Amino acid sequence: MRAFASLPVILSLMLTSASGHLPLPETSADQPVRASNPVREPTRFFGAPPMPAAQELPHHPAFREYYFSRVAYTGYARGWGRGFGRGGASWAIDYPKADQIFLSFIDRLLSNLDAYEWQHPVLLDDPELRRFPYLYALEVGYMNLTPPEVVGLRGFLLAGGFLVIDDFWGPNEWANFEYQMEQVLPGYPIVDLSLSHEIFSTFYEITELLQVPNHSNGINSIYGGSTAECYGCLPQVKGIYDERGRLMVVINFNTDLGDAWEWADDPYYPLKFSTYAYEMGVNMILYAMSH
Amino acid sequence: MFESLFEFLFKYRLLLFQEGDFSFTSPWPWAIGLIVAAALAVPSALTYTAARGDSTAADRGIMGGLRLGALSIVVFCLLQPTLIITSVVPQRNFVGILIDDSRSMTIADQDGRQRSEFVTRNFTGEESELLNQLAERFTLRFFRFSNSTQRLGDVSELEYRGSRTEIGPALVRAQEELAGVPLSGLILITDGADNSGEALAESLLPLQAASTPVYTIGLGEEALSPDIQVSRVEIPRSVLVGASLVVDVIIAQRGFRGRTVQLVVEDEGRIIASQDVELKRDGEPVVARVRFEADEAGPRLLQFRIPLQPGERVGRNNMREVLLNVRDEREKILYFEGEPRWEVKFLLRAVGDDENLQVVLLQRSAENKFKRMNVDDGEELAAGFPKTREELFKYRGLVLGSVEASFFTHDQLNMIADFVSERGGGLLLLGGRKAFREGGYEGTPIAQVMPVFMDDELSDGSGPYFAEVEVRPTRSGLTHPAIQLGKDETALEEAWETLPAVTSLNPISKLKPGATALLEAAVGRGSAKQIVLAYHRFGRGKAIVLPIQDSWFWQMSADVSVDDQRHETFWRQLLRWLIDGVPHGVVVETDRERVEVGESVELRATVSDSAFMEVNNALVSAFIEGPSGPPLERRMEWTVDEDGVYGAAFVPTEPGLYEIRVEATRGAGSLGTGSTFVHVTESDEEYFDAGMRRTTLERVADETGGRFYTPETVSNLPEDISLTGAGVTLTEERDLWDMPFLLLLLMSLVGGEWIYRHARGLI
């Protein structure tokens, strides 16, 4: 990891200086969001922290260049998948803490990026979906898309949107994800992305694929425990290209970047995994916004 | 009619009175004449006063006046009134006769006969009255003129095949040839359709200085009717392959008022566009706008044609052929973006398939961290935004995104301004939170370059400006190639109306003088509109502003089909327009794009170095390749008049397409190459605007002291030259006492008195 050796330093400094308290977005209505690029209020729901009311914003509802938009998809697991708080849904794993901490780091790592500081879940069948060309989805082994969601995601991707998949493990979950994507993009193969792919060098130079473990496996790994959530699983990064060779989907398989983002504030969670996860996170954002 | 009546009454033509001097040639002194007149008048007056009879004072006054009038005429005649005129000495002077030998003389509009028949009728054969009259008075010298002017031994040698009518050079040449002889004047026989492209006034100066009158004879109708003509085609000489073109075709007509005709565009036999054109009033030109794509690379000979209409007088002016050089080159544009933005992704995506555009991206992704894309090698832009003219000027277009002015050094800001004004590059300024006034550009050199003022009329002043804008083309935009999203104006308007709204953070509403807005949007704040796309020429280049921040929504919106190509088309056209006409280091031009075999072609090459400073000590060679045979090499010399300009000439020897490639070197280094094309073919220029140009010919005559004639009035020409021409002259006196007018007047006065008396009973 040649470029940006400073990232671990930044992470360390943020962790130590905050004494375990990361600079999370302020949730108080007294603290308006940054309104340098105001316009449109993004979709907010699913137990998100309370947002300032529109009339309390200085000028307009917020419209920012970049939203970390988490896909709230219909899933198999634990009942009907859309109800955050209704026994939990697979799309909302690590939500919203992972999103918030990730965005607080992005604010420092990509200081030029006009990023919305809040978690931002979106529905695939929402017509406004295409206002947010960057989507993040995880636990897709439990994804069970409805026809309108299939149509919405297909249109999003073919129009030029970018989807990042994370945190699903093993052949069973892969099979489900593969089936779901076959519904969305029939005939578009899933291919391996080698380390020579530009997404690994867009900002940070990543020379090795790491298996980013969940929180407990991460801590156990310090004592020699496995980072995998399934036996013998190796981390893989795959992708789906459109017919003109443009990358539409990045698939982080057998790895859990989200947990590393979420637990970056835990001094027991190994720094190398957080560093890798943030480097991948930054690279994926910049790649998506320039390719 | 008037002239005939005048000549009957006054014995001589009006011209003699205009040219001659009036005098009395009576041997008696004036005083004696007056005494005699008084001797006659006084007794008459006394007689009328004394012998009153029944007459009143008024009767006596009237009758006395009539009688005195009659006596005055007698006295006038006794004083022998004379007209003193100067006329040339027969057979002592020369007259040059210049006959138009161009193709337009074959147009049959002289009562159904060709214009050239006037020449045949009047200047060949022994029975030609005009020729005989002229020959009696002058020694005649004949000249033919069209592209050039030559002495003519026999009028029957005229062929009427000349491709041009160059009146000015013809007059100068004839005057020079006859400089050593007493020259009474020149006779110019032509339709007057001068297409030399030279200022006629300059050619007339030596004639005016030598007091050589030119007598012009105009042949043909002033307005050919019925006739349709493709007068002009407004098209660039060179475009990138795949360029969308909106070409203005100016059509003139007479006799087809209100009719709809079809304008067809063909590329070597293949129809690439057609459009119905409704003709307006006779004589009123119509501008037809034709849209098509230049989809095949190489020099293209495009024909803009209107099918021959029934009864047309001239058919060959229904078609214009133009040469369009469709370049298959890859042009480099530098896009500098100050932050990660979706606009980058979608812009690059939109033009990614365009083989002729290389958009080199330099993006500041974090403080002092830059991302480069589409660079040629690892060295390109390795140090960030260019710091030298050489580094920046190798690009033909520059796009600045959301980047604050303080990022640049003052030298870099000046360099960007010079990129437009001196290098002739295209500058596109995008909107964003760090662009325009919001980016601190007020008072910078780039503010000078912009086509707009950074006003805040649209802002309500309560905070950062933000507007959702529904973009619409302006009147100018409807016909501009950069924003063509439809096949015609209706489709274009609909295409823009159905695009989703986008947003702007930059309140731009005021154009600078001379700038043009192509896209705009109402934002509901007074009458001022948000300018969305505007441009102007600045120095050698052009500056364009697009103060919106998310044109990518035209691609991503759920209201836009995934297959919709409007976003791609817009950006491809916009970037192609950005670099359209941007010069290379070596620019080659010819004085004409179409010549005939044997006509000289003037080459002109402008040579600059990599910093676009003109170079005067370069070694410049032109390689001219015709349809067959080996390339011809011509050394081009610095013209001295202008920095960096080199000239040469060549004469094509066969019809076809000639490619001219120019290479420039200085020392061991190459300064670059440039190329252009010339089409060598028979010219049809003579058939355009082929009506007789009366005003031109009258002007030539007036400014030199000659007269203008038509075939109907030309019979006076020999005498007129005698009276008004220069050369060896003599003075002669012409009696006026025997003018029929005087007799008629005398009889009227005497008769009038008798009638008056009779009526009043005074006899």
CATH placement of domain B331-579: 3.40.50.880
Classify residue A263: in a domain, yes or no.
yes
State yes or no: ipTM above 0.90.
no
Which residues does chain B have within 8 Å of residue A127's beta carbon, measured at their own beta carbons? 558
DSSP letters, B509-521, are -EEPTT-EEEEEE
Torsion B737-B738-B740-B745 (CA) sign: positive
- Domain extent, residue A171, equals 35-290
Domain of residue A152, CATH code: 3.40.50.12140
pLDDT range class, residue B575, cuts 50, 70, 90: very high
8 Å CB contact of A111 and B463 = no
Report pLDDT digits (tens) over A178-206. 999 999 999 999 999 999 999 999 999 99
8 Å CB contact of B466 and A39 = yes
Mean pLDDT for all residues in chain A:
80
Smallest CA–CA distance, residue B340 to chain A, in Å, is 6
Residue B552 is which amino acid? W
Report pLDDT digits (tens) over B214-233. 999 999 888 888 899 999 99
DSSP letters, B129-194, are HHHHHHHHHEEEEEEEESSSEEEES-GGG----BS---HHHHHHHHHHHTTTS-EEEEEEEE----
Class of domain B586-680: mainly beta
Does the pLDDT of residue A264 top 80, yes or no?
yes
Alpha carbon distance B521, B498 (integer Å) = 14
- What mean pLDDT do residues A60-79 have? 75
Tokens of B251: 């059509």
Displacement of CA A149 from its chain's centroid (Å): 19
DSSP secondary structure code for residue B608 in this structure = B
Which residues does chain B have within 8 Å of residue A114's beta carbon, measured at their own beta carbons? 339, 433
Classify residue A8: in a domain, yes or no.
no
Same fold, B90-222+691-727 and B227-327: no
pLDDT range class, residue A7, cuts 50, 70, 90: low
Domain B227-327 architecture: Sandwich (2.60)
- Give yes or no for a contact between B302 and B322, defined as CB atoms under 8 angstroms apart: yes
Q: Which residues fall within 8 angstroms of residue B206, CB to CB, at 6 or more apart?
A: B172, B175
Q: Give the other-Cβ count within 10 Å of A61's Cβ.
A: 17
Residue B549: which of B438, B401, B447 has the closest Cα?
A: B401
Classify residue A136: in a domain, yes or no.
yes
Classify residue A266: in a domain, yes or no.
yes
Domain count, chain A: 1
A108 touches B at CB < 8 Å? no
Which residues does chain B have within 8 Å of residue A199's beta carbon, measured at their own beta carbons? none
What are residue B337's DSSP bridge partners?
B363
Phi and psi angles of residue A56, each rounded to the nearest 5 degrees, phi first: -85, -10
Question: Where does B222-297 show beta strands of DSSP type E?
Answer: 227-234, 238-240, 243-254, 260-267, 270-278, 286-294
8 Å CB contact of B345 and A155 = no
Alpha carbon distance B346, B342 (integer Å) = 6
Say which of B339, B353, B462 has its CB closest to residue A113.
Answer: B339
Pair type for strands B93-100 and B108-110: unpaired
Helix (H) or strand (E) holding B322: strand B319-327
Alpha carbon distance B334, B47 (integer Å) = 110
Helix (H) or strand (E) holding B454: none
Report pLDDT digits (tens) over B494-547. 999 999 999 999 999 999 999 999 999 998 767 789 999 999 999 999 999 999
Alpha carbon distance A288, A291 (integer Å) = 6
Cα–Cα distances (Å) from B629 to B624, B625, B690, in that order, read: 10, 8, 37
Classify residue A13: in a domain, yes or no.
no
Please enumerate, as own/partner, the contacts of A16-24 that have beta carbons within 8 Å and a separation of 24 or more: A18/A265, A20/A265, A20/A267, A21/A265, A22/A101, A22/A104, A22/A264, A22/A265, A23/A104, A24/A100, A24/A101, A24/A104
Mean pLDDT for all residues in chain B:
90
Q: What angle do CA A278, A284, A290 make, to 5 degrees?
A: 135
Does the pLDDT of residue B205 top 80, yes or no?
yes
Which of residues B645 and B462 earns the better pLDDT score?
B645
> Is it true that domain B90-222+691-727 has CATH number 3.40.50.410?
yes
Hey, of B364, B368, B466, B564, which one would you mutate to test binding to chain A, going by the most A CBs within 10 A of its CB? Answer: B466
- What mean pLDDT do residues B573-592 have? 93
Classify residue A4: in a domain, yes or no.
no
Does the pLDDT of residue A8 top 60, yes or no?
no
Residue spans of the domains in chain B: they are 2-87+732-760, 90-222+691-727, 227-327, 331-579, 586-680
DSSP letters, chain A, are --S-THHHHHHHHHHHHTTT---PPP--TTSPPP-SSB--PPP--TTPPPPPPGGGSSSSSB--SB--EEE---BSTTSSTT-TTTT--GGGTTTTHHHHHHHHHHHHHTTTS-B--S-EEE-TT-GGGGG--EEEEE-GGGB---HHHHHHHHHHHHHT-EEEEE---HHHHHHHHHHHHHHHSTT--EEE--TTSGGGTSSS---S------HHHHHHHHTT----SSTT---EEEEEE-TTS-EEEEEEES--HHHHHHTTT-TTS-HHHHHHHHHHHHHHHHHHHH-
